[in-house]
Amino acid sequence: MNLAHIERGTKLTIFEEFQQRAVSDEYEAVFRYIDGEKTFVVQSAGLYDNYGRLNLGSRLNISFMIEPNTYSFTGRPMEKQRASNMVMIEQLTDIETVSLRKYDRDELRVNVQAYGLPEAKLADTFFEKPEGEPDMSDITYDLSAGGVCVISSTLLSSKHDPYYLIAFALGDRDKFVLPAKIVRRSNYPRTKIGRYDYGFQFVFDNMPEEKSRLSRAILNRKLSRR
């Protein structure tokens, strides 16, 4: 994969890295054209408006999806273009493929809450975090775009079992409330951090856009920890 393989109009996600740490929110961008062997131009209102606030010597972490794969690389901001919202970037690293196989899970540790969900509510297309105490509140063991594992000392029980709403956040802007079904439960956890092992599979039948959003959020979380 190289710049020539990226089609005009491809959507990019960009955030600023400084001293190997993410120091900005995500900027949504669109790939416009190549302007040299290693330089290209994107259109991004957010990046354009905040260009003067970029740290000297900072890098831009850039990712995009060409199904079934997601790709990422690092670039250097070069200059704002005269055309509105256009920014020129120099490619600094090779474009790498990041695997997003359906159940390729990452050991991401985030707070998670589980609430019993009536089966009839699975047909809904939008969910909000319920009021009241959750049936379980703990830390994820691993997470993917397909589901989540929680190892806990809480014995999970609900009259709506096996369906639950799973609430968690991967960042200030990446908050999720997703319907899920328990597909595995045991009292023989893989580690000693809890007594019970729960495996939830997300139900995206009526909200497929949330699966794509979750995939991007997981990728960005991984890239920000490099």
- 58: domain CATH number is 2.30.110.10
Task: Look at residues 29, 63, 98 and tell me which one is the last residue of a structural domain.
Answer: 98
Residue 67: what residue type?
A: E
Q: Which domain holds residue 122?
A: 111-224
Q: Which pLDDT score, from 0 to 100, does residue 19 have?
A: 66
Q: Are 7 and 209 spatial neighbours (Cβ–Cβ below 8 Å)? A: no
Q: Which long-range contacts (CB under 8 A, 24 or more apart) does 94-99 make?
A: 95/1, 95/2, 95/3, 95/71, 96/71, 96/72, 97/1, 97/69, 97/70, 97/71, 98/63, 98/69, 98/70, 98/71, 98/72, 98/219, 98/222, 99/69
Task: Look at residues 98, 125, 155 and tell me which one is the last residue of a structural domain.
Answer: 98
Q: Are 1 and 97 spatial neighbours (Cβ–Cβ below 8 Å)? A: yes
User: Based on the domain organization, do 93 and 196 belong to the same domain?
Assistant: no
- Our count of domains for the chain comes to 2
Q: Which pLDDT score, from 0 to 100, does residue 79 have?
A: 94
- Beta-carbon count within 10 A of 11 CB: 12
Segment (H or E) for 74: strand 69-80
Q: What is the CATH number of the domain that holds 162?
A: 2.40.10
User: Based on the domain organization, do 90 and 156 belong to the same domain?
Assistant: no
Q: Is residue 138 part of a domain?
A: yes
- Give SS3 for 192: coil
Q: Which pLDDT score, from 0 to 100, does residue 188 have?
A: 52
User: Based on the domain organization, do 115 and 210 belong to the same domain?
Assistant: yes
Q: Is residue 67 part of a domain?
A: yes
Phi, psi of 77 (to 5 degrees): -65, 130
* CA dihedral for 13, 5, 88, 58, sign (positive or negative): positive
User: Based on the domain organization, do 116 and 90 belong to the same domain?
Assistant: no
User: Based on the domain organization, do 82 and 49 belong to the same domain?
Assistant: yes
Taking the C-alpha atoms of residue 185 and residue 212, their distance in angstroms, rounded to an integer, is 27
Q: Which pLDDT score, from 0 to 100, does residue 107 have?
A: 67
Pair of tokens at residue 199: 């495996």
Q: Which pLDDT score, from 0 to 100, does residue 223 have?
A: 72
Q: Which pLDDT score, from 0 to 100, does residue 11 have?
A: 92
The three-state (H, E, C) secondary structure of 120-173, written as one string: HHHHCCCCCCCCCCCCEEEEEEEECCCEEEEEECCCCCCCCCCEEEEEEECCCC
User: Based on the domain organization, do 218 and 116 belong to the same domain?
Assistant: yes
Q: Is residue 81 part of a domain?
A: yes
User: Based on the domain organization, do 93 and 137 belong to the same domain?
Assistant: no
- Residue 53, Cα to own-chain centre: how many angstroms? 25
User: Based on the domain organization, do 151 and 75 belong to the same domain?
Assistant: no
Pair of tokens at residue 145: 């775009």
Q: Is residue 103 part of a domain?
A: no
Q: Is residue 106 part of a domain?
A: no
User: Based on the domain organization, do 117 and 163 belong to the same domain?
Assistant: yes
Asked if omega into 162 is within 30° of 0 (cis), the reply is yes
Q: Which pLDDT score, from 0 to 100, does residue 98 have?
A: 59
User: Based on the domain organization, do 74 and 116 belong to the same domain?
Assistant: no
Q: Is residue 58 part of a domain?
A: yes
User: Based on the domain organization, do 63 and 142 belong to the same domain?
Assistant: no
User: Based on the domain organization, do 131 and 31 belong to the same domain?
Assistant: no
Task: Look at residues 36, 70, 98 and tell me which one is the last residue of a structural domain.
Answer: 98
CA distances from 44 to 18, 36, 131 (A): 20, 20, 38
Tens-digit pLDDT profile for the chain (226 aa)?
Answer: 889 999 999 999 888 877 655 566 678 999 999 998 899 999 999 999 999 999 888 889 888 888 667 788 899 999 999 888 999 999 999 998 754 444 445 567 899 999 999 999 999 999 999 999 999 999 998 898 889 999 888 888 889 989 999 999 998 889 999 999 988 877 655 566 677 889 899 999 999 899 989 988 888 877 766 5
Q: Is residue 104 part of a domain?
A: no
